[in-house]
Structure 1
Amino acid sequence: MALSLLQKAQIWLLKAVAGLFLKLFQLFSSRKPGLSGKKLPPVTDPLLLLSATQLARKIRRKEVSSVEVVQAYIDRIQEVNPLLNAVVKDRFAAALQEAAQVDKLIEEESGGEEVLEDRLPLLGVPLSVKEAFALQGMPFTAGLFSRRGIIANVDAPPVALLKRAGAIPLGVTNTSELCMWMESHNHLYGITKNPYDLERIPGGSSGGEGSILGGAGAVIGIGSDIGGSIRMPCFFNGIFGHKTTPGVVSSDNQYPPFSGRQEEYLSTGPMCRYAEDLLPMLKIMAGPNAHMLSLNTKVDLKKLRFFTVPHSGCLLTTPVSKELVDIQKKVVERLEADLGVKVQEVHFPELRYGFQMWDTYLGLPDKEGKSPRAFAALLGEPGPPVRPLWELLKWMLGKSKHTMAAIGLALMEMTHVSKPSSSIIQKKEKLQKEVEELLGNDGVFLYPSHPRVAPKHHHPLFTFFDFTYTGILNILGLPVTQCPLGLSEEGLPLGVQVVAGKLQDHLTLALALYLEKTFGGWRDPGAN
């Protein structure tokens, strides 16, 4: 089914906008002082090298106090955050008080360790929180300058559940402006950096989370994902992250709020350095919906069916780099050698239209006919919608409170047509059917996380279609675990997406444990 003339015109226009961004950025962006040569200090405190599961066990057994653990992470944040700009507001004093209360509770508990583990599985463990989630008493802006000063007066449901399980929030982390870009940069908090190379991006929109976790300033965190906002930061920062099957973990009390049909494609999930923390975090964050997933089911990897999809075939995206092609092949080779399985290579021709599908479906109205809130309107809150061309002129003069990425998205929004393309709808439905039939309830496929390792700052302005390697999986509503696979020759994280059928999250989480054991998992960026 060929693209219509209108669709071809839209693609041409989007490419032209990318070219315009490149020229404008070269003309008007001011050069920042170079960061080459600067490096994160290595981890020296052994407490920072334990998983949340291990830390909770040691705290329950009084082998270490919660105060000691929380202080170790506070010290690490104070050491690395001046370089990373990942944590934008801390609550260190309150966290230490809460840790002292935990230690007192453990001293007074008469029911034993098992009672504590069952009731408070993360008791005393530090937690970082994406600033787009409501965390009571903390900023709640999603990086929008006009929301400066807004403080959350409640906890978002998954944050509340993690706190109820005993986790202690240390602070909130940076995002892209309104959580709709691949780089965590805004004019309220500034730009966040990648712990493996300060001249590179940590991803977005959960980039502050990815950066502080990758830099060992946190052990567990929480992110949200509507186009790759958990998986790209996890990939770029060498950590684990899980995009949950939509509808399992609550997405309430996030900013910006979902509208239209966006709730169908938005997922909230865990981010962490150690794979063994994914499953217990997801159990907690799912709350009353945990029964929807088979999280207590033991997975025999040898009985799964494995597939690999090497690329999307999309002409809009950058070709997948050789180092990422090679590492995915190595995963296939290890699976076949270690498990005795056959990994079948498959191709889905409709994947080449991934951007058009994502763009179309995020703009669809809900069942009541209400369309999603316009991005330009959200940018202007609490005032009137921004005027993208006027904002672009202000940016050229250094007067805009918005980033070039946000202005560019508002400009792209102007190219949208009111009626969705029937051919794109048909292609998505065909792809959905093919993928679900392939996976069933025992299939898993590997898919590139991104066409290349973490780009340099601002570079996504010129290659913004590359996010469709993650975005298309939101539209398909599938659970995905992002897994690190060691480092490139440049010392940058490699990785792969592990995808399963709807509600089969336990399969990808089980494979994450295998991949961590096989490829080494997270690496200390200060030791490389």
Structure 2
Amino acid sequence: MALTGIERIQKLLFDAFLAVCFILYRFLCARPTENKRKLPPVSNPLLAVSATQLAGRIRRREVSSVEVVQAYIDRIQQVNPLLNAVVKDRFSAALQEAAQVDKLIDEEPGGEEVLADRLPFLGVPLSVKESFGLQGMPHTSGIVSRRGVLAAADAPPVALLKRAGAIPLGVTNTSEGCMWAESHNHLYGITSNPYDLERMPGGSSGGEGSLLAAAGAVIGLGSDIGGSIRMPCFFNGVFGHKTTPGVVSNENQYPPYSGRHEEYASAGPMCRYAEDLLPMLKIMAGPNAPMLSLDEKVELKKLRFFNIPDDGGSPLVSPVSKELREIQKRVVERLEADLGLSVQEVRFPELRYGFRIWDAYMSLPDKEGKPPVPITEQFGEPGRPMWPMWEALKSLLGKSDHTVAAIGVSVLENTSWSRPSAFLVGLKEKLQKDVEELLGTDGVLLYPSHPRVAPKHHHALFRPFDFAYTGIINILGLPVTQCPLGLNGEGLPMGVQVVSGKLQDRLPLAVARYLENAFGGWREPPADIHRMKMV
């Protein structure tokens, strides 16, 4: 669907505003960074073990929880000055809780099997996206007006993971209001990608993705309404799963979901090792876990595999890069060679309108006719709503409490782009029907996670709709796992989305474990040679 004349003018004005802001930022506000900075190497072997294996070692008393928690605290203290991923820690409390875990293990009469069943992640460190309630910790989503707001209680998936024995180390950075592809806000600052500190780690769960990739965490918690788990996992070379909506509770997150957002939003696990995805999801789903049949064995050779190399050429979205096309092609070839099956390439022309469909459906009212809470209100909470054009003027002088991205999103909310149309609704309904019929209960679909590897800081402002590759999956309500596929020639992570039918989450989780074995999974970011010698 071509843009109307008015929409073209709106887009040109918006692009011009972004260009002016970016130029002013680069030349007036941004401080020069030291080139080629790298993280210190991962030296403690405890940091290179999955959470599942760590829990087993702790239960068997091969290592104490205190040792494991201290190893991760040490690593965070090493890398966080470079990454700005953790915005508030609880290290002292975590060490106390780890000591209590070690005491419990010493006193447990039932032994390892009882602990494994009752507390599967006992003593294992956990990182939490700051938009989730973690009792006593900041709960702002990077919004300046919420400075000082602390969570009064744990969000349900946080509480469930803690009940399973996991020990939170702190909360991680997000984009302002969790509404942008880069984790940057004027409360905590900007988070960097551990593979290249001049690049973005994605958003809104960018602090989680960055910390996991840097071996500052082994398991983490994210949320996703347009790609906020999958983009950070893709940019940082780790695993992330967007659950079938309605399975994991979305309560006690900020911003709260409204309108029909609950139909598209999902909390889910983020981790470095694929074997941790399923047990994490099983815990986070709580009483809804039986809906997913996660204990049912998946035989990959009995699945039907499909491949979509791109969205068909949307004028609003970057073309998929050659390197990402090639790596996805290699996945297809590897599947066919290893499993003795044929991967069918399919096309859905409706995917060209992925962003427009996502945008339209995000603005729909709920069943009672109540529209979503305006973004401007969420950005101003608990005070007055944000005035986008006033903030745009202030931002040109470096005086706004809001990022350029947040202002831009607020401006776009008030354009005709966010109005549903019969044309877009028809496209979505046809796409939904065709994809669900294709996948059924045994189909798996490969689709690009993003059209390009991690961009440099702020460059997402010039291609703001590239998240359409993840966002359209939200609107379809399908479960999907982002899987890392090694590094490109510049040492940046590549990956692919693995999609299945509703409630068939176990299928992409099984494929994730296969792809980890086939392509190596997480790779340690390049280390600072000088620091390596010092160590």
Bucket of the pairwise TM-score, normalised by the shorter protein = over 0.9
Q: Deviation per CA, 1:159-199, whole angstroms, max 9, x where unpaired?
A: 00000000000000000000000000001100000000000
Amino acid at match of 1:468: A
SS across alignment from 1:129: strand
Q: Deviation per CA, 1:230-272, whole angstroms, max 9, x where unpaired?
A: 0000000000000000000000000000000001000000000
Check conservation: 2:58, 2:64, Cα contact below 8 A: yes
Q: Does 1:21 align with 2:12?
A: no
Check conservation: 2:21, 2:395, Cα contact below 8 A: no
Amino acid at match of 1:235: F
Q: CA separation in 1, counterparts of 2:282 and 2:515?
A: 21
Note the 1:168-207 alignment, pairs <5 A.
168-207=167-206
Q: CA deviation at 1:490?
A: 0.1
- More displaced, 375-384 or 349-358? 375-384
2:318 is aligned to 318
Q: CA separation in 2, counterparts of 1:245 and 1:527?
A: 37
Q: CA separation in 1, counterparts of 2:97 and 2:9?
A: 55
Q: CA separation in 1, counterparts of 2:210 and 2:436?
A: 34
Q: CA deviation at 1:35?
A: 3.7
SS across alignment from 1:127: strand
Q: CA separation in 2, counterparts of 1:78 and 1:109?
A: 33
2:263 is aligned to 264
Q: CA deviation at 1:12?
A: 5.3
Gapped runs of 5+ residues in structure 2?
529-535
TM-score by length of 2: 0.97
Q: CA deviation at 1:18?
A: 2.4
Q: CA separation in 1, counterparts of 2:310 and 2:13?
A: 24
SS across alignment from 2:202: coil
2:148 is aligned to 149
Q: CA deviation at 1:106?
A: 0.2
Check conservation: 1:19, 1:462, Cα contact below 8 A: no
Root-mean-square deviation (CA, aligned residues, Å) is: 1.2
Q: CA separation in 1, counterparts of 2:274 and 2:31?
A: 36
- More displaced, 378-387 or 217-226? 378-387
Matched length: 525
Q: CA deviation at 1:37?
A: 1.2
SS across alignment from 1:526: coil
Q: Deviation per CA, 1:304-355, whole angstroms, max 9, x where unpaired?
A: 0001100002121111000100000000000000000100111100000011
1:491 is aligned to 491
Note the 1:121-132 alignment, pairs <5 A.
121-132=120-131
Check conservation: 1:35, 1:199, Cα contact below 8 A: no
Check conservation: 2:359, 2:418, Cα contact below 8 A: no
Q: Deviation per CA, 1:274-302, whole angstroms, max 9, x where unpaired?
A: 00000000000000000110201100000
Q: CA separation in 2, counterparts of 1:19 and 1:219?
A: 41
1:405 is aligned to 405
SS across alignment from 2:269: strand
Note the 1:61-140 alignment, pairs <5 A.
61-140=60-139
Query: Do the aligned partners of residues 299 and 12 (structure 1) sit closer, same or farther apart at CA in structure 2, a change above 3 Å counting?
Result: farther
1:214 is aligned to 213
1:519 is aligned to 519
Q: CA separation in 2, counterparts of 1:179 and 1:281?
A: 22
Amino acid at match of 1:21: L
Check conservation: 2:363, 2:418, Cα contact below 8 A: no
Q: CA separation in 2, counterparts of 1:76 and 1:491?
A: 21
Q: CA separation in 1, counterparts of 2:70 and 2:12?
A: 49
Q: Deviation per CA, 1:106-140, whole angstroms, max 9, x where unpaired?
A: 00000011000000000000000000000001000
Gapped runs of 5+ residues in structure 1?
none
Amino acid at match of 1:330: R
Check conservation: 2:90, 2:169, Cα contact below 8 A: yes
Q: CA separation in 1, counterparts of 2:50 and 2:286?
A: 22
The structure 1 segments of at least 4 consecutive aligned residues displaced by more than 3 Å after TM superposition are 416-419
Q: CA separation in 1, counterparts of 2:362 and 2:319?
A: 25
Q: CA separation in 1, counterparts of 2:11 and 2:290?
A: 43
TM-score by length of 1: 0.98
Q: Does 1:329 align with 2:295?
A: no
2:35 is aligned to 36
Check conservation: 1:86, 1:212, Cα contact below 8 A: yes
Q: CA deviation at 1:414?
A: 1.8
Check conservation: 2:200, 2:454, Cα contact below 8 A: yes
Check conservation: 1:184, 1:208, Cα contact below 8 A: yes
Q: CA separation in 1, counterparts of 2:86 and 2:298?
A: 36
Q: CA separation in 1, counterparts of 2:25 and 2:514?
A: 47
Query: Do the aligned partners of residues 450 and 253 (structure 1) sit closer, same or farther apart at CA in structure 2, a change above 3 Å counting?
Result: same
Note the 1:157-306 alignment, pairs <5 A.
157-306=156-305
Query: Do the aligned partners of residues 16 and 141 (structure 1) sit closer, same or farther apart at CA in structure 2, a change above 3 Å counting?
Result: same
Note the 1:406-445 alignment, pairs <5 A.
406-416=406-416, 420-445=420-445
Amino acid at match of 2:301: K
SS across alignment from 1:503: coil
- More displaced, 391-400 or 99-108? 391-400
